[in-house]
């Protein structure tokens, strides 16, 4: 039998205590909240995968929240791996069944970014920025570091009802030697006022509930709900020269000038021709005058 990793014990690191599932349910599952259940599991491969499977089988209701103390196969965009030590971050997924036109569901990952960014600013005192379409950044002395990401996946239940799984991962207490890549960061390394995950999780879910309610009441309209205004105000991608890595191995480079009504990033090339980017991986580039010729 393989010896159990001592770090798996909930109290192996006193700086990383386990979440209090009972207190979280009491605080978040309320008549005026969209959250219908909150479950905390010690470990899983991916909360998105687990919740999507339950939704597809009809065993998860809209408003379900699944939180893991540790993910062993967490996924980001383009199936990138997302791993971190146990209890070092927030790893959660929520199941939403929006009663708004499906063409506006593309705003959900951007909505989650606005909600998470605002919650972290208020609760942890960390100034975050949004990288289109779904990354949470903090600014440090050596530039920008990614502290979190959002993954949205559509799933259909056995009765044909379409829903969205929103996965959110946020690095909370990761230390420098635990970062998976040099461009990663954490709330702790950004000087957060607190790394207590209970209030951070409550703040994120309450902020998400508030924005989701506002967006739903506006039938998903990003203008009426003020979602587009809030997203563009906090988006670090806008006004910068970027390279968009598009599906099929294509690339597009230009200045990010807007986020349109469908949540797409609009790039302007050297001649001012605008092109909306619906899906892709965006790389922030240095200003053109700082780039060596031929790059």
pLDDT digits (tens, 9 = 90+) for 137-193: 998 777 799 999 999 999 999 999 999 999 999 999 999 999 988 889 999 999 999
Tokens of 106: 């593309």
Domain holding 269, by residue range, is: 241-290
Opening angle at CA 175, ends 152 and 280, nearest 5: 30
pLDDT digits (tens, 9 = 90+) for 99-109: 999 999 999 99
Domain assignment of residue 267, yes or no: yes
Domain assignment of residue 1, yes or no: no
294 pLDDT tier (thresholds 50, 70, 90): very low
CATH number at residue 255: 2.30.30.100
Domain assignment of residue 14, yes or no: yes
293 pLDDT tier (thresholds 50, 70, 90): very low
Residue 290 in this model has a pLDDT that exceeds 90: no
Place of tokens 């002395």: 141
Residues 6+ apart with CB under 8 A from 170: 89, 90, 116, 120, 136, 147, 148, 187, 200, 204
Of all residues in the chain, what percent carry a pLDDT higher than 70? 89
3 state DSSP class of 110: helix
79 pLDDT tier (thresholds 50, 70, 90): low
Domain assignment of residue 80, yes or no: yes
3 pLDDT tier (thresholds 50, 70, 90): very low
The answer to whether residues 91 and 182 belong to one domain is yes
121 pLDDT tier (thresholds 50, 70, 90): very high
Distance of CA 206 to the CA centre of its chain: 15
């Amino acid at each position: 039998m393989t010896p159990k990793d001592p770090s798996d014990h909930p109290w192996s690191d006193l700086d990383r205590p386990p979440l209090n599932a009972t207190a979280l349910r009491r605080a978040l599952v309320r008549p005026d909240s969209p959250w219908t259940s909150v479950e905390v599991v010690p470990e899983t491969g991916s909360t998105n995968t687990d919740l999507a499977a339950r939704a597809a089988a009809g065993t998860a209701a809209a408003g379900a929240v699944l939180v893991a103390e540790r993910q062993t196969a967490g996924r980001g965009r383009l199936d990138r791996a997302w791993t971190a030590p146990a209890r070092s971050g927030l790893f959660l997924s929520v199941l939403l069944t929006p009663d708004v036109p499906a063409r506006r569901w593309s705003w959900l990952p951007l909505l989650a970014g606005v909600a998470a960014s605002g919650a972290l600013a208020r609760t942890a005192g960390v100034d975050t920025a949004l990288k289109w379409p779904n990354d949470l950044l903090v600014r440090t002395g050596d530039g920008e570091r990614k502290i979190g990401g959002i993954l949205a996946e559509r799933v259909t239940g056995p009765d044909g009802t379409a829903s969205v799984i929103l996965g959110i991962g946020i690095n909370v207490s990761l230390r420098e030697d635990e970062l998976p890549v040099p461009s990663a960061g954490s709330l702790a390394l950004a000087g957060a006022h607190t790394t207590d995950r209970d209030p951070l999780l409550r703040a994120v879910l309450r902020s998400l509930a508030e924005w989701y309610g506002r967006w739903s009441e506006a039938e998903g309209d990003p203008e009426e709900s003020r979602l587009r205004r809030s997203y563009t105000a906090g988006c670090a991608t806008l006004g910068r020269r970027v390279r968009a890595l598009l599906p099929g191995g294509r690339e597009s480079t230009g200045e990010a000038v807007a986020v349109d009504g469908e949540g797409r990033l609009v790039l302007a090339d050297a001649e001012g021709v605008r092109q909306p980017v619906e899906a892709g991986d965006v790389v922030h580039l240095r200003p053109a005058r700082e780039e060596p010729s031929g790059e």
